[in-house]
């Protein structure tokens, strides 16, 4: 009996740790920055609903253009008006939330003309956002955790080069890389980049694409597409969803009860499951979606 008790005492902590590790690994990623009505970044992080925040977007870069932030109504980068976000970013990071800068978006002026162009952008991002200099960047004197690739226009060339160039800085300080491809696989803009195997998080946009999204009570297309995406060489795959019906005009909204009862139990069986990505904070505020699902993610 004593031997059994001793064995139980050894096994129980191991079991507890494995359960904690599994539960800790999953989280919700949110996009913030594209609607002045969504509240502050600190308010978003203080909900404790999100494990990752993508600041959206650096919407101008490449081809000789000066990189430019567009944070909608939040601040004006042209007069250094976004440096005040530094305190909010630190608030998020102090809560253990990873804060990434998202490149691209649905409306912007961006593309990469060459491998050298990609390297120049990587150097700019390192110097201004990722800790390469001690001075203040466009978001103030902060060091972000990584870079998100939300490339939806401007071609697919050289984003693999950009991923490699950014990853090279991880020898000095870990630079997390994430990507937000459309659910049609392979993604038209990010496939070559994702195939480098350098991405920590791939939050797939399972919306605005009828062939691979939820619709009319049917989860088949959604789950079939998920099963394809978990084969790509990335550390974790997230199910990217609209936080409300209004967030995705072409469909893909999954009611919270359907997500928690029919979808999450299936996709959580994958060892690559990382959680759920939501577009975006404004719609989440309006609809309370993350509050409804956080207990099941």
Active-site residue set: 152
- Provide the CA 68 distance to its chain's centre, in angstroms: 20
Q: How far apart are CA 175 and CA 173, in angstroms?
A: 6
Q: What number of other Cβ atoms are within 10 A of residue 292's Cβ? A: 16
Question: Long-range contact list for 115-119, CB < 8 A, 24+ apart?
Answer: 115/158, 115/161, 117/62, 117/63, 117/158, 118/158, 118/159, 118/161, 118/162, 118/165, 119/161, 119/165
Longest dimension (CA), the chain: 74
Is residue 206 within 8 A of residue 252, CB to CB? The reply is yes
């Amino acid at each position: 009996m004593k031997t059994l008790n001793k064995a139980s005492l050894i096994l129980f902590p191991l079991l507890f740790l494995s359960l904690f590790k599994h539960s800790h690994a999953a989280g919700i990623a949110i996009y913030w920055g594209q609607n002045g009505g969504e509240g502050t970044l600190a308010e978003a992080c203080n909900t404790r609903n999100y494990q990752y925040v993508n600041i959206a977007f650096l919407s101008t870069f490449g081809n000789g253009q000066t990189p430019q932030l567009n944070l909608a109504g939040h601040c004006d980068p042209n007069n250094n008006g976004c440096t005040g976000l530094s305190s909010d970013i630190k608030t998020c990071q102090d809560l253990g939330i990873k804060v990434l800068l998202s490149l691209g978006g649905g409306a912007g002026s961006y593309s990469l003309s060459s491998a050298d162009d990609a390297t120049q952008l990587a150097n700019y991002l390192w110097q201004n956002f990722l800790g390469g200099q001690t001075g203040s960047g466009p978001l103030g004197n902060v060091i972000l955790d990584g870079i998100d690739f939300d490339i939806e226009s401007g071609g697919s060339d050289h984003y693999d080069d950009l991923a490699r160039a950014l990853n090279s800085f991880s020898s000095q300080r870990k630079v997390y890389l994430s990507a937000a491809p459309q659910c049609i696989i392979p993604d038209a803009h990010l496939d070559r980049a994702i195939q480098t195997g350098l991405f920590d998080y791939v939050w797939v946009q399972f919306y605005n694409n009828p062939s691979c999204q939820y619709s009319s009570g049917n989860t088949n297309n959604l789950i079939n597409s998920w099963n394809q995406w978990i084969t790509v060489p990335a550390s974790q795959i997230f199910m990217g969803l609209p936080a409300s019906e209004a967030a995705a005009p072409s469909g893909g909204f999954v009611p919270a009860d359907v997500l928690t009862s029919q979808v999450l139990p299936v996709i959580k069986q994958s060892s690559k499951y990382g959680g759920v990505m939501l577009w975006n904070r404004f719609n989440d505020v309006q609809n309370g979606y993350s509050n409804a699902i956080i207990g099941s993610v």
